[in-house]
Structure 1
Amino acid sequence: MDIHRSFAQAAILEDGQFIKELRVDLTHERIVKFSKTLTLDDEVVIEATGNSLAVERLLRPFVKRVIVANPRLVRAIAYARVKTDKIDARVLAQLQASGFLPDVWVPDDDTQRRRRQTTERLGVLEQAVRTKGRIHSILHANLIPKFTGHLFGKAGKKWLSSLPLPDDERSILARLVDELERITAQLAEFDKVIASESLVDPRAVRLMTIPGIGPIVASTVLASIGDISRFPTPEKLSSYFGLTPKIRQSGDRPARHGRISKQGNVAARRMLVEAAWSAKLAPGPLRAFFNRVQKARGAPAAAVATARKLAVMIWHVLTSGADYAYARPAFTAMKMRKAALKAGAPRAYGKAGPAQDYWIKEIRDREAQYVERVEKAYEQMVAAWKQAPPKQKPASAEKT
């Protein structure tokens, strides 16, 4: 089926012969009616488009399998000189029949729901960033110095309302502040739902033992991954996030490594980079790795390299089913408690909670000293690895 916005061109192949071609309107009723003409032995091929998952969901109960093809890799269609809907549908059927169709993994319903949730949250977050940028631009255009405290807190909003601005810009600023309050409330509701779901998901709880990864990052990564068994190696997972460099090599020339590919889930890649910046602040081998790369190539490159390192750790944690090896129990418990409060858990005053150990200085310092020793060991290993071996004299020189 060659899918478009309002219809799909279908070509039915049986025993190597096309027995029927038809056009199906992409409405719920028409798709279900078409599905009932198929059998449980049939296979249906569609290309990955914006509405392909909805078509796949409706076709799935009536056929043996629904294959979603990767349009970037179907070269017979992408580079065809004669390209029509009928030809594209025929090519899809022939490629699947011959076993040469590059397909993509179709997420289950729960993973699709998580992806919609995290994508919508990212959109709300970007809207908040744009609104804050417009407020800052108004202040900059009117030569107003920066506010010393939190600009979008109570004191900052009171300060904004008292600024000497023209009447039209004052009304625009008031509207933007109101808009930011509405967006912030939506973002808080998203964070509440995501935090509550992460706390009951064993995979998310396990990921949160890694420095820099909280409920938002864990949920976004899990929504992108789906089933970790799809990735046989950590390199495959890093490549899926678009965190591996492009490589060009031909003939006898050496391979050239470029920038990261930036393919795959954009939201998950952004979350991992943000987690890398957070991991830089926590003692441990991740901070040592960040600092080592930062000295050689700068902080932005170090953040991307640490994000790739986090992807490797995520693969090992999810595959092995074990917590992060250098997790700090008290710090992790405090992180879980913050996530629970964000999810709406009641505050308990006057009694010790599960995160009480973090506020005991002796325990907190003991855990910090442990991971700092690991950080020092990593630095010593790198220093020894960089030392050049002593140069040996040629055998002919030793004889003379």
Structure 2
Amino acid sequence: MYIVGIDIGKNHHEASIVSPEGKQIGPSLRFATTHKGADSLMSFIFKNIGNSPCVFGMEATGHYWYPIYSFLKAKGYTIYVINPIQSDSLRKMYIRQTKNDSIDSFLIAEVIRFGQFGTTSMGILEKYLTPENIENAPIDELFEITKDKSHNRLTKAKAISIKEAAADTFGIKIAQDAFSFQLKQLIDRMNFLDKQIEALDCQILEYYEKFDCYLHTIPGIGMIAAATILAEIGDINRFKSSSALVAFAGIDPTVRQSGEFSSTHNHMSKRGSPYLRHAIFLAATTRSFHNSPLNAYYKKKRDQGKHHLTATGAVARL
């Protein structure tokens, strides 16, 4: 499975393609945050890897990642959105800690690649704990674990290479029982946190279903997003008008005026609830790229010369 890392920018993005082995495929691509730019990304991918399956990774950089995320989502791709802290941590592993868009897009792809193999690694460690146990494990058994945890992405050759690496490692020859116990404790803790997150999602949905709410039936709004919107708004009657609700979400434009000067380039205020604003803006971005009255309204604003983010903000306020 190839991974396309995208470094997000205000006017341009940078994309790099990385193979399952971590090798960059060709040079990176700088493309504009426009429909033409998004189309050039698709051409870039086809030129380098054809129709081979791929996933995308990008950082949650402000609100600038929403449009390309929505574009790729509409095409059916799997996209992983990561925290910039994750790519920064990986950058520190490199001796030359340079920073540019090309390197950043590669690092973002690497974060996704490590994350995908991380599930497989966790499965192997949970089963064997030490290199000696991996070395002595039947190859068919090891292959079944790698195949299952990687969802059939890894071949038997990878299982063989893991077994060979375990045999070649120095390992830790002292206090093995203590280190194995410590490792098992860490794995159990991570599994416990995963189960807690899953249980929390289930609890959120359970509470949401108790309300006579149909927000999730609106195209572009999932169950968790609907629960977020409902929870953040609370009693809708506490807002005297739709403008008051818009202001609470922080998606109203700022007003810049001094004397006779009045700015025509106002930004979103970003006051109020960040969770509500995130849910609404993401839904607006999704619907702006699908056939719907909201898409028609978005196109109308664009035809009026409005910037993409301004037009999306207008859709969010509807």
Q: Same fold (TM over 0.5)?
A: no
Q: For the superposition of Structure 1 and Structure 2, which TM-score range results when normalised by the shorter chain?
A: 0.3 to 0.5
* TM-score normalised to structure 1 length: 0.35
